[in-house]
Amino acid sequence: MDRFILFGMGETSLITRFEPRRPFQGDLEGPGRAVRILGRALDRFTGLRAGGILAWIGRCPEGSGVSLSCPMIQLGVNIDHVATLRQARYRGNASAEALQEPDPVLAAHEAELGGADIITVHLREDRRHIQDRDLDLLARTVRAKLNLEMAATDEMVGIAIAHKVHMVTLVPEGRQEVTTEGGLNVKGQAARMKEVVSRLRDAGITVSAFIDADATQIEAARNAGFQMCELHTGPYARAFAECGGDMLRPRLNAELEAVAMAGAQIAASGMRFNAGHALNYFNVVRIAALPGISELHIGHAIVSRAVFTGLREAVREMKELIVRAHRR
């Protein structure tokens, strides 16, 4: 099977093909030096920069057979709250469309340049932040994986299929909530979930369920045909804040253990273990270090930090945190 490496980031990136014969066995200093030399050569002869290559290739845990194809934790950046800021100023003002900012489409590009592996948006029934126009443009311009969070309605299934998004995360949706406040009740609507998942998968879309760390919901998700489960980390995040991050506090330990045990069940069920909700630069490390975790989906904390650092840098800092924790 052909493999590809991305050198550089964004519109000046170069993709080249390689065909590895076997995993590299040994320490990473040799390959790391080779990558740096190759980066300098690209700078000199093509003007392209390869400084981001190691972040894209990743590094496998020590003690394992190291392979350039070894899976690395991925960061999904939710850009909903970029749209929230825009809507706070321009909601319902169609005459000022040319002035409307910040633009989530530009935010997605900046997030990609910062190292985002996935761009996540939630198109809500009430269109409170992300608009149909945003999804139209994102579907055409996002270079990373595009993840659409949505309710399991016929309207949204049609939109997901029409836009050919890479991934859908089914979430519960309430008009009175500021943000998603709990996991999807897959067990309580098993027949509907199975139907929706089947339609999306038939269209070539990977489907994830945003659920609480509950064994019965995980089993129901597997039976419904979900390929991934994103665990709701809100309870862990609240415990972390209330305990000051002190892992000697039983409550915080219990919440982290609940996520870890649920993650192990997801993996054992043949699904991908993802997590998200209320994760930030302080509490994310313990979650990123959990065995078997594949993706972290984070939005508000990154957008908040971007006010002070810029979005590209905010994403870069988060990506560095989770990759470093995952390697431990």
Active site positions, annotated:
122, 149, 277
- Rounded Cα distance between 211 and 328, Å, is 27
Q: Which sign, positive or negative, has the C-alpha torsion 46, 52, 56, 62?
A: positive
Residue positions counted in the chain: 328
Q: Which residues of 211-228 are buried (b: 16+ CB within 10 A; e: fewer)?
A: bbbbeebbebbbebbbbb
Q: Position of tokens 């390959």?
A: 31
- Rounded Cα distance between 299 and 278, Å, is 8
- Rounded Cα distance between 256 and 241, Å, is 13
Q: Position of tokens 């470093």?
A: 324
Cis preceding-peptide flag for 102 (omega within 30 of 0): yes
Q: Which sign, positive or negative, has the C-alpha torsion 263, 117, 225, 212?
A: positive
- Rounded Cα distance between 50 and 41, Å, is 9
- Rounded Cα distance between 4 and 57, Å, is 10
